Structure 1
Amino acid sequence: MFILGFRIGEDNQVKIILFSEISLDGKLTVGNCSSKELLESMSEKEIELIQQHRNKYDAILVGSETIKIDNPNLTCRLEHGVSPIRVILSSGLNFSFNENVFIDENRTVLVTSSNDEEKLKKITELNKEVLLVSATDLKDMRKIVCLLEDKLGIKSLIVEGGGSTNWSFAKYNLFDEIHLLQFPVLVGGKNTTSLVDGEGFQKIDLCVNYQFMKVEQYGTNLYLTFTKK
């Protein structure tokens, strides 16, 4: 299904949270590899926490690199749980189309600026959906969030992206809450993916401020939550 055009507005009524698993120094991966190495230490309680969040929100959003590197399912596995709509940002649709989000029955929506007819046809053959936008609009998450609200009826969104995707939301101050599972390890590496990458804010008064809400201990790991001031 192809949907063209959307409201060009900055206002939205969508609740957006960033949910991520990080090291002590804020890294999402070990080296330039998948995040799965960090996630192997998670307990059943932590896995259930992630599933509860996915059951709670209308949609879950990631970038194309997360799909290609981690090949996640992005579903809710709780008994009687409801899986969120999976939203994937991709400029070039450079997938094998054998990734998990394409081969199961759960709903997947690709937001793309690609006009590659062969790839677009492949997506529809797999019973997945496409929201086609301009290359400029694909970089503006204010517009993308309005698009998801207007076209898909999404009122709550959980972002589980990599550093670049997370920055594309953070630079517009779009996260209402931040939820972090922190592992007690130091990873290091200047080229290792961090919670938020991109060009970053250049002055302290431009930075986005959050208020600490609570901390819970899950074995040796911490679950931290913050809300926007």
Structure 2
Amino acid sequence: MTSVDGKILTDKWGSDPKVKALAENFEKAHEELGVKAWLVGRTTMEKDFTDFAAPILKKGHQEVPRTDFVAEHTAESFAIAIDGQAKLGWEEPTMQGDHVITILTTAVPDAYLAHLQDIGVSYIFAGEKKINLKTALEKLTSLFGIKKLMLEGGAHINGSFLNEQLIDELHQLLLPLADGTKETSTLFEIEQSEKRNGATVLKLHDVKRMEDDVLWLTYKFDY
């Protein structure tokens, strides 16, 4: 969901009821797409979902092997976080009814892993110091049967997936409002030192007009 100038942070858009009504289209699209697994980066998860809760470390001496942990669960939907340095504070194994899976590096503390096991949060390892996205996706499929995933920000996670050519389809809700701020994140952001190629070419697949002049644009990727 973006403004016409490509910005994605709704907290910069003010408290006008008209703006809030426009932003509600995001959840409508989320439900209509119906994908049972969604993924966000650590910054988005702590800002929008965990309320900046500090990481919890289990007391006492802990030694936890660096093997993936699939907690017991009955959920068919998943809330997934990229959190390589274990900065998210988890207090329960579900998020809005979805089973939580956190993607970590092997550098995280033993006491953090012990706490996740105690409360039933699943975790997978996808690198020693930096997350390897391809490894993470392969494990989400092999361990949890996830074959389709909704990537929902923020800008750096979106950019990382784009940089690795791991996005098949883009659904962009274009809201009829202009942000105008310089510091606000855009839909995709990649550090210049990490960017591999030039611009990515997309193919327009569908355009749908929603309520209040919102456009739902669907693109296919042409790598």
TM over 0.5: yes
Per-residue deviation, 1:132: 2.1
**Is the alpha carbon distance of 1:204 and 1:198 closer, same or farther for their aligned partners in structure 2, counting shifts above 3 Å?**
closer
Please, what is the CA RMSD of the aligned residues? Answer: 3.2
Q: Which residue matches 1:62? A: 40
Amino acid at match of 2:172: L
Q: Is the 8 A contact 1:30 1:38 kept in 2?
A: no
Q: How does 1:17-96 map to 2 (within 5 A)?
A: 21-30=1-10, 40-42=20-22, 47-53=27-33, 55=34, 57-71=35-49, 84-96=77-89
- Equivalents in 2 of 1:203, 1:143: separation in Å? 19
Q: Which residue matches 2:102? A: 110
**Is the alpha carbon distance of 1:38 and 1:110 closer, same or farther for their aligned partners in structure 2, counting shifts above 3 Å?**
farther
Q: Is the 8 A contact 2:126 2:135 kept in 1?
A: no
Q: TM-score, structure 2 length as denominator? A: 0.74
Greater share of strand = 1
Q: Is the 8 A contact 1:31 1:191 kept in 2?
A: no
Helix, strand or coil at the partner of 2:153: coil
- Equivalents in 2 of 1:210, 1:201: separation in Å? 23
Q: Greater relative contact order: 1 or 2 (C-alpha under 8 angstroms, separation 6 or more)?
A: 1
Runs of 5+ consecutive residues of structure 1 not aligned to the other structure: 1-20, 73-81
- Equivalents in 2 of 1:60, 1:83: separation in Å? 12
Q: Does residue 1:168 correspond to 2:160, yes or no?
A: yes
Amino acid at match of 2:208: E
Count matched residues.
194
Per-residue deviation, 1:38: 9.6
Runs of 5+ consecutive residues of structure 2 not aligned to the other structure: 51-74
**Is the alpha carbon distance of 1:83 and 1:180 closer, same or farther for their aligned partners in structure 2, counting shifts above 3 Å?**
farther
**Is the alpha carbon distance of 1:123 and 1:104 closer, same or farther for their aligned partners in structure 2, counting shifts above 3 Å?**
farther
- Equivalents in 1 of 2:25, 2:84: separation in Å? 36
Q: Does residue 1:97 correspond to 2:90, yes or no?
A: yes
With 200-209 and 165-174 compared, the bigger mean Cα shift is at 200-209
**Is the alpha carbon distance of 1:134 and 1:63 closer, same or farther for their aligned partners in structure 2, counting shifts above 3 Å?**
same
- Equivalents in 2 of 1:43, 1:115: separation in Å? 36
Q: Is the 8 A contact 2:12 2:179 kept in 1?
A: no
Q: Which residue matches 1:221? A: 214
Q: Does residue 1:198 correspond to 2:190, yes or no?
A: yes
Answer with 1 or 2: which has the greater Rg: 2
Q: TM-score, structure 1 length as denominator? A: 0.72
Q: Does residue 1:184 correspond to 2:164, yes or no?
A: no
Overall identity of the aligned pairs, in %: 20
Amino acid at match of 2:178: L
